[in-house]
Amino acid sequence: MIQTENLTKQFKTTLAVDRLTLQVQEGEVFGFLGPNGAGKTTTVRMLTSLIGPTSGKAIVNGFEVGKQDTDIRRSVGILTETPGMYDNLSAQFNLEIYASLYEVKDPKGQIEKYLRMLGLWDRRNDEAGTFSKGMKQKLAIARSLLHEPRLLFLDEPTAALDPEGARLVRDFIEELRKQGRTIFLCTHNLDEADRLCDRIGVFKSRLLVVDAPARLRSQLFGRKVVFHLHAPAPGLAQTAQALPFVQEARLVDNKLLVTLEDPDLHNPEIIRALVGAGAEIQFVGELRRSLEDVYLQLVKAA
């Protein structure tokens, strides 16, 4: 659905996006995770043909950025960082404008469908300016869906909302995912990315890493397995370290901490080696790292 190759955006003094190469598959929820100023919005703007890349290439929905811009605009939906509603106009009128601009076949039906789905139908005649932030955000989501895009860009959809509003929006994203839509979700919220996304790309001007949330935790740092021993035995760290797949082994009191990439595969072999060296293992557990550790380490290093 999205393919980019060395996509780059240089503003006068800032290199906002640096040689981004990325694939997003159909039906996938892709989390684009990065701190403020990382270049997420700039990337979304390039992928929705709002601004042109300085260099590089991107194909969105089969159309090339810079060459088939109108086709791209017609075929994708976008929830911009700020809802940008016409505050003096009613919710319904706001949507009517966009239904027309997106050439929606059955504007009345589509508007009613999404206003009802997002719980705004009863307020349809009220000016958008009277809406709370959460309601405006929902109205903006409705606006982005009127033309039933298969690919949807969501730029920090919950950033400005209180926890309750954020929860509602996340549930709705979950709903959209079930409908099989492809979603490109920009966020700086780890928890959100972890819960909603099939894959996460950690981004700060450059794409630092891409993977499924669970694998991101393990692959990057390895996973830590703890072997609780009956008594501390000094030679055991070296025994474990000697195994080819072990990244690090350390003895702390009567716990042996082993870092490795794939415990499911290699734990039995470690246990065999340790028992062979005379260890009395009481039980084995895993130290889970939070995605936050991963993220912060990556972003600090970048």
Partner 1 sequence: MDKIKTILHKEWAEVFKNRMVLFATIFLPLMMTALPLIILYATAGAETGDFTSQMPKQFREFCPEGLTGGECFQYYIVSQFMIMFMMIPLIIPVNIAAYSVVGEKTTRSLEPLLATPITTAELLTGKNLAATIPAVIATWIGFAIFAVGAAIIAKSQALLGALLDPMWLLAIFLVGPLLAVLSVNFSLMVSSRVNDPRVAEQLSSVVILPLLALFVGQISGFILLSRSLVLIMAAVLLVIDLGLIYLSVQLFERETILTRWK
- Residues at the interface with ligand ADP (CB under 6 A): 11, 14, 16, 34, 36-42
Residue 182 makes contact with Mg ion by CB under 5 A: no
Q: Is 3 exposed, middle or buried (0-12, 13-18, 19+ CB in 10 A)?
A: middle
Residue 51 makes contact with partner 1 by CB under 8 A: yes
Q: Which helix (H) or strand (E) holds 268?
A: helix 263-276
Q: Which stretch binds partner 1 (CB under 8 A): 92-100, 220-228, 259-267, 280-288?
A: 92-100
| CA dist., res. 62 & res. 195, Å (int) | 29
Choosing from 3, 54, 89, 176, the residue that interacts with partner 1 (CB under 8 A) is 89
Nearer to partner 1, 86 or 232 (CB): 86
Q: Which of 132, 154, 156 shows the shortest CA–CA distance to 145?
A: 154
DSSP string, 271-299: HHHHHHTT--EEEEEEEPPPHHHHHHHHH
In the complex, minimum distance from the CB of residue 248 to Mg ion, in angstroms, rounded to a whole number: 37
In the complex, minimum distance from the CB of residue 124 to partner 1, in angstroms, rounded to a whole number: 15
**How many chain residues interact with partner 1 (CB under 8 A)?**
29
Report CA dihedral (266, 267, 273, 277) to the nearest 10 degrees: 160
Q: Which stretch binds partner 1 (CB under 8 A): 96-104, 158-166, 213-221, 252-260?
A: 96-104
Token pair belonging to 240: 């474990």
Nearer to ligand ADP, 12 or 178 (CB): 12
> Which chain residues interact with partner 1 by CB under 8 A?
45, 48, 50-52, 70, 73-74, 78, 80-89, 93, 97-98, 100-103, 140, 143-144
